[in-house]
Structure 1
Amino acid sequence: MIKKDLLRKLPKIDELLKEDIVKDSLKDTMRTLVIDSLRASIDQYREYILEDEIQDFKKEDILSRFQEILETKKEPNLKGVINAVGVVIHTNLGRSILPEEAVKNVIEVTQNYNNLEYDLKKGERGSRYSHIEELIKKVTGAEAALVVNNNAAAVMLVLNTLCKDKEAIVSRGQLVEIGGSFRVPDVMVFSGAELVEVGTTNRTHLYDYENNINENTGVLLKVHTSNFKILGFTDDVPLEELVALGKEKSIPVIEDIGSGSLIDFSKYNFTYEPTVQESIKKGVDVVTFSGDKMLGGPQVGIIVGKKEFVDKMKKNQLTRALRIDKMILAALEGTMKYYLDEKEAVKKIPTLHMMLSSKDEHKKRAYKLKRKLKNKVGDFNFVVGEDYSMVGGGSMPIERIPTYVIKVKSNKYKPEELEVKLRKNKIPIIVRVANDEVIMDVRTMFDRDFDMVAETFAGL
């Protein structure tokens, strides 16, 4: 059949709307989506014809493709995936998983009206920040707290409030770049603060700060380099010395901890990371940190510190532009409450549990998954082996967590082909490829994922 005849054979949308399959779809799907899917199916077959990819087709072929397209259109673009990569705080995969209590809180406030800005005791307008400030103060030991939409915003708000049109002194070795090409110097420029770099990349001394202080100095800024390490011939100014200098010169000391550790990970045989509580005890005036990294909650930037400074930030007009909504507040409260008891936090906050759970626990889970795979799959070879997970999220860059993985080999697919098929699954399974094998790390998988993974392999 020639192209012209095939093109004439393509059905009209009005004609397809009379088909039973389409009528059934219209019962529970918006008409716009149905028509868009019909049009996309027809267009795809038109392209096949013009590119000589088909010699003939039936109406049923177009309807079948229509159903596939419609199902895809009905799915959300932002969807859940199975993280089998072994990176706990995976920036590309949404960073931290919310704990159960946080999820319950979000559902409660989104399904009902709520007291977001209403004081139930006084019966009058209230502040959204009152729902979380006391809890943050109790956990961190700070005098005051404020929450904005991410840590870059927190740093910008602090500098804009305390250092606009003034100089912020920071060590050259702390001018980091975080994910998405966002750089501390750029954030400082937008805040209105003037950056003054002191010291060298690997060594900064107290006199480097002292020699650059003048009448226009607004703050002394310390940035924790959580996403890289400089090793060897290095020197940095201890926080206590910087705080003492700030007090002597009446200049606020700001620390951006970034990853937001609220527990001492060195107690669990991890590399030491400074905690928010320690910084507050050492007298830092303002500390900023993220909510969706080591803290294990939603994406927020948390500002804690001396009341006189935080109160100024609350009055800054930027605060309204950077404020968080009811869902984030609910999620943050549900997460922070666990930190009232560290044992509960380690047990029930998924990020902490994934990081700190024992290697032996994941060995048992790896064999559990292997049994499920063996029961359903015959075309693949599954081997349980030892490997390492990573913390991720720009935190603890040199930390490797011993874990167990399942290594997959197949005569049917090359590793790269199998990775694509798993990634394009209805529920995407994100794996890594190394040494000519597909590797699935059970540390970042949930037990609830195992059946889906086994069914997916069975269908390949």
Structure 2
Amino acid sequence: MNKELLRKLPKIDELLKEPLIQKEIDITYRVLVVESLREAIEKFRRNILENKINDFESEDVLNYAIGILTRKKQHNLRKVINATGTVIHTNLGRSLLSSDAVKNAMEVASRYNNLEYDIKEGKRGSRYSHIEELIIKITGAEAAIVVNNNAAAIMLVLDTLSKNKEVIVSRGQLVEIGGSFRIPEVMKFSGAKLIEVGTTNRTHLYDYEDNINENTGILLKVHTSNFKIYGFTEEVELDELVKLGQTKEIPVVEDIGSGVLVDFTKYGFTHEPTVQDSIKKGVDIVTFSGDKMLGGPQAGIIVGKKKYIQAMKKNQLTRALRIDKMTLAGLEGTLRHYLDEKNAIKNIPTLNMILASKDEMKKKAIKFRKKLKNSVYNFKFDIGEDYSMVGGGSMPTEKIPTHVIKVRNESISAAEIEKNLRLNEVPIIGRVFDDEFIIDVRTVFEEDITEIIKALKYMES
């Protein structure tokens, strides 16, 4: 029986003549079509040898190959629908760019541009000039430079100001940035010698003072944005550290991490230090991310005193860490919104989603549920109250009241619903709780509901 079925397997040359395959060759890469046919034939061959099928037709192999080809045609990095309610979702690309930032990036990417050309002077220019004045205006700093992420920013600062020197930092601030990247390892790689002071929960000003010597390069403060310690705790206030640095003529560097440019306490959130506050308090150098609370593309932004920034610009490491034209364009498009706070909140998706009210989320949930109920009949959709998260290692204790849609089906488990939606052509990423699939509407867009409906209807069929 196996021999007969094996002989029945179609040859690739035969399948390539099929009209459906000819059509695919016209619209996609021939190499992908041939690969898909080979994989389909091989799959059927294995199933025959393992006695998993009793019979088949050439059409079955053809359809299986089309399924493989469909997956191969998809980009590996592609759009997903975030139904988790985590606004800055590190695994799902962190912050979304505003339409202005996207437009600016597309225009710069698709045309020649003045990346390193001074149009006014008619000669070579600096790529950093396009955004430095903008960053200075927003933060109040003397100068600025941008590299490819905040870890790179910290490394450049340390390499420039404290290579082969000592860096004093509180033991309670030796954080893991994420993905096993840790502040102590970044410091070691930069050539700086780490001097830990204080304890995990308590550090005093005298801990810094007692460890300062002729080889001290900088005093470093790392904002613990991705965790909080409660109870018997104490840390040195930024004002005190700045005063000590000025007295001892040692630069004070603050890694503020999330890049907050808006005072969130005005909107009912717990206090998060802003870049502007740190500059006003006299910090010599501040580093922060572009793709977290700032709401822009991945970047590490360094602001502070001009003499230190100038030294970094001359550091040979800067070339290895520099950002490209699309990041610059996206960052400029994002930062321009911050010239007016209301404009930033309205147009930057990250800020808009974080600050959207519970009542707004309720109206959104009711609207989305109505669309789901009118299109999908074998699922039940209930609205419930829940909490969204900021994400991205920012405001870890902040819970944002929201409304969610709870999806149930009597014959399909929540785990199966989650898997099917995750494996959808446009992946839909949500969460499961109490045997229900949860859609947090805070991070779901109007156009996403059409795709969710399509995916659920496919599960019904």
The answer as to 2:331 corresponding to 1:332 is yes
Deviation at 1:38, TM superposition (A): 1.0
Code of the residue aligned with 1:357 in structure 2: it is A
Aligned counterparts of 1:178 and 1:61: Cα–Cα separation in 2:
50
1:408 and 2:407 matched: yes
Q: What do residues 230-261 of structure 1 show as CA deviations (whole Å, max 9, x unaligned)?
A: 00111000101100111111111000000000
Counterpart residue number, 2:95: 96
Match of 2:25 in 1: 26
Distance 1:141 1:50 in 2: 72
2:63 corresponds to which residue?
Answer: 64
Paired residues of 1:291 and 1:298 also in contact (CA < 8 A): yes
Structure-1 separation of matches of 2:30 and 2:450 = 35
1:219–1:254: 8 Å Cα contact kept in structure 2? yes
**Pair 1:311-2:305 in alignment:** no
Aligned counterparts, 1:420-439, within 5 A: 420-439=419-438
Q: Deviations over 1:135-163 (max 9, x none)?
A: 01110000110100100000000000000
Pairing of 1:376-415 with structure 2 (within 5 A): 376-415=375-414
- Bigger shift: residues 312-321 or 18-27: 18-27
Residue equivalent to 2:72:
73
Aligned to 1:323: 322
Aligned residue in 1 for 2:209? 210
Q: Can you list the C-alpha shifts for 1:81-109, whole angstroms capped at 9, x where unaligned?
A: 11000100000000001001000001101
Query: Deviation of residue 4 (structure 1)?
Result: 2.3
Give the aligned residue type for 1:322.
L
Deviation at 1:378? Answer: 1.3
The separation in 2 between residues aligned to 1:308 and 1:40, in whole angstroms, is 61
2:396 counterpart SS class: strand
In the TM superposition, residue 376 of structure 1 has moved relative to its aligned partner by 1.1
| One-letter amino acid of the counterpart of residue 347, structure 1 | K
Aligned residue type for 1:115? N
Structure 1 stretches of 4+ with a deviation exceeding 3 A read none
- Residue by residue over 1:399-423, the C-alpha shift from the partner in whole angstroms, topping out at 9 and shown as x without a partner, is 0000000011111211111100010
Partners of 1:143 and 1:305 within 8 A in 2: yes
> What is the letter of the counterpart of residue 195 of structure 1?
L
Cα displacement string for residues 357-391 of structure 1 (whole angstroms, at most 9, x for unaligned residues): 11111111101110111111111111011110000
Secondary structure of 2:383's counterpart equals strand
What code does the residue aligned with 1:421 have? N
Q: Which moved more, 1:394-403 or 1:9-18?
A: 9-18
Paired AA for residue 197 in structure 1: E
Instruction: For residue 59 of structure 1, report the CA deviation from its aligned partner.
Output: 0.7
Q: Which amino acid aligns with 1:209?
A: Y
Distance in 1, matches of 2:428 and 2:221, equals 39
- AA aligned to 2:95 is S
Aligned to 2:299: 300
Aligned-pair identity in percent equals 67
Which stretch shows the higher mean deviation, 129-138 or 13-22?
13-22
TM-score, with length taken from structure 2: 0.98
Give the Å deviation of 1:455: 2.0
How many Å separate the matches in 1 of 2:120 and 2:318? 25
Residue 351 of structure 1 aligns with an amino acid whose one-letter code is: T
For 2:159, the equivalent position in structure 1 comes to 160
Match of 1:231 in 2: 230
Using the TM superposition, give the Cα deviation of residue 329 of structure 1 relative to its aligned residue in structure 2, in angstroms.
0.4
Pairing 1:342–2:341 present: yes
Residues in 2 aligned to 1:446 and 1:135: alpha-carbon distance in whole angstroms: 30
- Secondary structure at the counterpart of residue 459 of structure 1: helix
Compute the displacement of 1:436 (Å). Answer: 1.8
Structure 1 residue 185 corresponds to structure 2 residue 163: no
Whole-angstrom distance in 1 between the partners of 2:411 and 2:454:
17
- Equivalent position SS for 2:253: strand
Per the alignment, residue 119 of structure 1 pairs with 118
Residue equivalent to 1:11:
10
Paired residue total: 459
Q: Which amino acid aligns with 2:65?
A: F
SS of the counterpart of 2:425?
coil
- Structure 2: how far apart are the matches of 1:443 and 1:161? 42
- The alignment status of 1:459 with 2:442, answered yes or no, reads no
3-state SS of 1:246 partner: helix
Secondary structure of the structure 2 residue equivalent to 1:201? coil
Matched, 1:244 2:243: yes
The alpha carbon displacement at 1:43 in A equals 1.4
Paired residue secondary structure (2:179): helix
Letter in 2 for 1:230: I
Q: 1:52: Cα distance to partner?
A: 1.5
Q: Distance in 2 between matches of 1:336 and 1:7?
A: 63
Aligned residues of 1:255 and 1:287 also touching (Cα < 8 A): yes
The residue that corresponds to 1:222 in the other structure is 221
Normalised to the residue count of structure 1, the TM-score between the two structures is: 0.99
- Corresponding position: 1:139 with 2:138: yes
Q: Which moved more, 1:43-52 or 1:271-280?
A: 43-52
Secondary structure at the aligned position of 2:203 is classed as coil
In the TM superposition, what is the alpha-carbon distance from 1:190 to its structure 2 partner? 0.6
- Compare 224-233 and 119-128 and name the one that shifted more: 119-128
Q: Which runs of 5+ in 2 are unaligned?
A: none
Letter in 2 for 1:381: K
Map 1:253-292; keep pairs closer than 5 Å.
253-292=252-291
Alpha-carbon distance between aligned partners in 1 of 2:347 and 2:157, rounded to the nearest angstrom: 32
List per-residue Cα deviations over 1:168-222 (Å, max 9, x = no partner): 0000000001210111001101111000000000000000000000111000000
One-letter amino acid of the counterpart of residue 316, structure 2:
Q
Alpha-carbon distance in 2 for matches of 1:122, 1:388: 54
* Whole-angstrom CA distance in 2 between matches of 1:64 and 1:436: 34
Q: CA deviation at 1:51?
A: 2.0
Instruction: Give the CA deviation at 1:9.
Output: 2.1
Contact between 1:373 and 1:457, CA under 8 Å: does it hold in 2? no
2-structure distance, mates of 1:281, 1:264: 14
Q: Using the alignment, how far apart are the partners of 1:392 and 1:17 within structure 2?
A: 49
Return the offset for 1:71. Answer: 1.2
For residue 84 of structure 2, what is the aligned residue in structure 1?
A: 85
Please list every run of 5 or more consecutive structure 1 residues that lacks an aligned counterpart in the other structure. none
- Corresponding residue for residue 373 of structure 1: 372
Residue type of the partner of 1:12?
Answer: K
Q: Is the 8 A contact 1:81 1:428 kept in 2?
A: yes
